[in-house]
Amino acid sequence: MRHHPGTAGQELTRFDAGMTVNFAKEVWIQLCAYAGFPRNLNALGVLMKVVRKMVDVGAS
């Protein structure tokens, strides 16, 4: 799993398709043990960017 610059925008489309923030948080929590610490920090950063973007566009 590698971080790609376009990831936050791609994830936003998944939220538009019905994925909730709570579900994304649960996925992140479940993957913490498997992905390792540095990747977890990257994933958390992407999740935070997506949630901020959702708030900016009024999709909260």
Mean pLDDT confidence for 45-53: 86
Total number of residues shown for the chain: 60
Cβ atoms of residues 2 and 47 within 8 Å: no
Domain boundaries, the chain: 7-54
Q: Give the whole-angstrom CA distance, residue 23 versus residue 25.
A: 5
For residue 50, count CB atoms less than 10 angstroms from its CB and return exposed for 0-12, middle for 13-18, buried for 19 or more. Answer: buried
What pLDDT does residue 23 have?
Answer: 85
**Residue with the larger pLDDT of the pair 39 and 13:** 39
**Residue with the larger pLDDT of the pair 54 and 13:** 54
What pLDDT does residue 25 have?
Answer: 85
Look up the pTM and report it: 0.60
The two tokens of residue 26 are 């649960």
